[in-house]
Structure 1
């Protein structure tokens, strides 16, 4: 059994903390066994194969037992990992992001938030947990300016009937100022599970709407208060006549 510390900075944190590592001295292969079953080998476990002599690259792969295609882990130092982790950095730090690929799929898992993203057929990064929504190129919901930790999604097919959405994680809120504007960040620390809130961007009424939980609404109010400015946010700027027309249209 190997000490986990030797894998720090080379693998996502989950592969360091949630697995025990067994080295086969004969083959040079390292098997990653879940901490729940450290003494039980399994052909479907993640395995690290290091090639030192034949010039072949090292391989970290999982072969599912159901006959599915092998799954490879994307190196955290690769350009692919850097690009994708940057897209998701508003929700999660790189050390907690797991990016894998098969012959026909590329997927990023944010296990602490129970969110999964994948590259769809149109080469957009779609959220599997919220089907039909992809990461928007325009990362602004029209309000809460200065909030660093929010990810805006849009409908993948560009439908005007489906509104954009914003995901905001739950955590310790730190706030300060950046020039004349607020700077607000949400720190999730070392929590094993991270809660998140989803809000719909209602451009007709100029507001964010969320679920019916009081906690979600209070969280939204607090973030609005921290990011408020003397100038009104574009989303919230809606004349009284426009509000009446929008309400009548509903």
Structure 2
């Protein structure tokens, strides 16, 4: 199983851009494979991109150079499911973007919090497929009592159809310091349960007993990583199973 690594304050050099040294400790994110995708604070200034917010870098153009997600939205429209699909190259895109790969990502509510998947080719079984989340205004603490529910979407091999998107509810029990729940697509051919994950005092979430069913195949021992943002108004995370096909990014807002 791939080791999840927390990444902060990284920077996607696309052409000749100016870089600022600005970093924000409030940007928190994680990638299931940092050989292909890194997330953290955006540092690129140029074109539609500005530094300082939630960002992403991919291997093709310098993985330690991060652009902001808000700038990436300029390159594609949000679809009916609320997901941005960027498949480079495409007509009209800069030549420096030709090998950027395939992005599927969604915004959590209206916040600078994003979840998604990337792969070099966007094909079934692509071994480069990586899921991630990245968000600004990460919380540093959580309540010690009370509960909250989050309506979430999950991205797993998204193909542009509503049937491929996962939906579900996660419940945060701050008194018990646990996060539980599951998400599924409309045909129930994909089901992901995060098991019982731990809500940590720094507002991060960690777990190791996630499980799922993918087109009849049972998977288990998935690793959960997540984070609360904006005073627990938002939640984003990922589940990392052995291999890449079953890895799932998720995010949502408090009900």
Q: TM-score, normalised by structure 2?
A: 0.29
Looking at secondary structure, tell me which structure has more helix per residue: 1
Looking at secondary structure, tell me which structure has more strand per residue: 2
Larger relative contact order, structure 1 or 2 (CA cutoff 8 Å, min sep 6): 2
Q: TM-score, normalised by structure 1?
A: 0.29
